[in-house]
Amino acid sequence: MNATSHIENPDVILIGSGIMSATLGTVLKSLRPELKIQLYEVTDELAQESSNGWNNAGTGHAGICEVSYTPNRRPDGEVDVAKAISIFEEFEHSKYFWGYAVREGIIDDPKTIINPVPHISFVYGQEQVDFLRSRYHGMSQHHFFRDMQYTEDRKLISQWAPLLVGGRADIPIAATKMERGTDVNFGAIARQLVQWLGRQTGCGYACQHRVTRLNRTSNGWDIGIRDLKNGRSITNSAKFVFIGAGGGSLPLLQKANIPEGKGFGGFPIGGQWLICRKPEIVKQHGAKVYGLSPGAAPTMAVPHLDTRIIDGEEALLFGPYAAWTTKFLHQGGSLLDLPGSMRWDNLSSLIKVGLHNIPLVGYLIQQGLQSMSTRMKELRNFYPDAKTEDWELIDAGIRVQAIKKQDGDAGIVHFGTEVLSDEDKTISVLLGASPGASVSANIILEIVQDCFGDWLETDDGHQRMKKMIPSFDETLMDPDMADRQAALSEQAERSLQLL
């Protein structure tokens, strides 16, 4: 098997080589070793869009530091931390699955995919400090966050992350920290999973192959594919198709023309980072530090100063700076993607979302046009002594936020992830982007439960899934599961060399 192999009439066709297709392919093949699977990817290498290491922040989102997951107060006035607890549990599933992949030799060296990096929330000003204190009280009572530390002491914060404190004016600051945070290279995970899949009997993947057409048949789907190397069009058929094409998923869903896909639209948000590669600065940080979202910024644009470890290179990323774009994909995307996605069934939702989100659109345009000195001003809210010459602006990935009909009525852009399957369970599609790659194992588990649920009911299927994600049918957030969660977490972290 190699990067241009073709399996004729496989059981499953996967579209896209990002973390989602890669995870689904690996889970299905591990559940049913006799399964035939073919994956198509339009770019000339695997996982070059959102999953690529430099296109996302690589934060193993576990609800620890992302203050935006806990925006609401409970009736008693304390911060509601329920969402952070559920994200933590979903990230556990991913960690267990990656630990399994290492133990099984699917992933070679865990250092290429995940590294321990403490997760810190950092706030300034009395109002934000009061918020973080309340959040900490709520979170530290749960066994997931028992090890969380909180401080308002500048000296201690300076030990945790010196860049945050040097040169800072004398206003109240506070931070929480958990040592067991992670930096993840989702692109490296996707690549290794797809390469493993390609080595399995009955499986293959083909880069530079764009899926252009989906037609339902009595037995599944006929898929039209263009081989970009020679311009030839081919057709392949499968009983089940997964559209894991990231920003390219919406146009393909529209081509599949299933009733469940009616009314969906997409709202692309581009991104940029400031990056610093100077070892003397990079060495001083060693953390992922998340703050609170400024003004009209969408929740996924909360500022963060991140240690990144990609292909052995350490760097600091700051951002993301959002940007206005009408493209759905970086490579092979077109400025006509957004207008081209407009249909009668999603037009009213798109117009309503546009009208109700004028401040957001304004924010995106302003963000894209801002000068380097304005960007540095934002960075200095985090790192007051930052010098312009140490930082460079690079592009990040594009998130295509799913817009649902209900959201059109409510007038909001939906920032979650949306999984749609048809009634006959012959096709699944993943739309949206947040919280994304970190919870990929959980998203794929939902697809498997929905479309291949009967496989999990056999002894063999149940055991195989337990081996991959031991807690897949358990609720780790329950207080009496604390010991079980600690044991599973330790097993995964040992396999991933995080301990």
Ligand X SMILES: Cc1cc2nc3c(=O)[nH]c(=O)nc-3n(C[C@H](O)[C@H](O)[C@H](O)COP(=O)(O)OP(=O)(O)OC[C@H]3O[C@@H](n4cnc5c(N)ncnc54)[C@H](O)[C@@H]3O)c2cc1C
**Nearest CB to ligand X, comparing residues 379 and 437:** 437
Decide if residue 53 touches ligand X (CB under 6 A): no
Tell me, by CB under 6 A, how many residues bind ligand X: 42
Decide if residue 50 touches ligand X (CB under 6 A): yes
Residues 10, 12, 14, 18: which binds ligand X (CB under 6 A)?
Answer: 18
Q: How far is the CB of 363 from ligand X (least distance, A)?
A: 15
Spatial separation of the C-alpha atoms in residues 207 and 16, rounded to whole Å: 9
**Nearest CB to ligand X, comparing residues 343 and 484:** 343
Cβ atoms < 10 Å from Cβ of 219: 11
- Distances 354 to 17, 121, 293, 344 between C-alpha atoms, Å: 31, 32, 21, 16
Enter the tokens of residue 247: 């920003």
Chain residues 219-248 in contact with ligand X, contact rule CB under 6 A: 244-246, 248
Chain residues 425-464 in contact with ligand X, contact rule CB under 6 A: 430, 433, 435-438
User: 288 CB contacts (<8 Å, ≥6 apart)?
Assistant: 57, 59, 65, 117, 118, 119, 120, 181, 183, 304, 305, 306, 307
Cβ-count burial of 86 within 10 angstroms (0-12 exposed, 13-18 middle, 19+ buried)?
middle
Spatial separation of the C-alpha atoms in residues 296 and 323, rounded to whole Å: 13
The secondary element (H helix, E strand) that includes residue 97 is helix 82-103
Chain residues 334-353 in contact with ligand X, contact rule CB under 6 A: none
Closest residue by Cα to residue 445 from 28, 113, 35: 28
* Cβ pair 115, 183 in contact under 8 A: yes
**Nearest CB to ligand X, comparing residues 174 and 437:** 437
Q: How far is the CB of 64 from ligand X (least distance, A)?
A: 12
Spatial separation of the C-alpha atoms in residues 384 and 366, rounded to whole Å: 23
Q: How far is the CB of 429 from ligand X (least distance, A)?
A: 10
- Piece of 15-23, 101-109, 153-161, 405-413 that binds ligand X (CB under 6 A): 15-23
Chain residues 23-42 in contact with ligand X, contact rule CB under 6 A: 40-42
Q: How far is the CB of 288 from ligand X (least distance, A)?
A: 8
**Nearest CB to ligand X, comparing residues 188 and 488:** 188
Residues 7, 12, 15, 445: which binds ligand X (CB under 6 A)?
Answer: 15
Closest residue by Cα to residue 182 from 270, 291, 284, 309: 309
3-state secondary structure of 112: helix
Residues 10, 11, 16, 93: which binds ligand X (CB under 6 A)?
Answer: 16
* Cβ pair 183, 309 in contact under 8 A: yes
**Nearest CB to ligand X, comparing residues 173 and 436:** 436
Chain residues 305-334 in contact with ligand X, contact rule CB under 6 A: 320, 329
- Per-residue string for binding with ligand X, 182-221, x by CB under 6 A? ----x-----------------------xx----------
Decide if residue 265 touches ligand X (CB under 6 A): no
**Nearest CB to ligand X, comparing residues 437 and 488:** 437
Decide if residue 19 touches ligand X (CB under 6 A): yes
Chain residues 370-399 in contact with ligand X, contact rule CB under 6 A: 396-397, 399
**Nearest CB to ligand X, comparing residues 134 and 428:** 428
Q: How far is the CB of 77 from ligand X (least distance, A)?
A: 30
Q: How far is the CB of 65 from ligand X (least distance, A)?
A: 11
* Cβ pair 133, 174 in contact under 8 A: yes
Secondary structure of 224-291 in HEC code, one letter for each residue: EEEECCCCCEEEEEECEEEECCHHHHHHHHHHHCCHHHCCCEEEEEEEEEEEECCHHHHHHHCCEEEC
Residue ranges in contact with ligand X by CB under 6 A: 15-21, 40-43, 47-51, 55-59, 61, 186, 210-211, 244-246, 248, 252, 271, 320, 329, 396-397, 399, 430, 433, 435-438
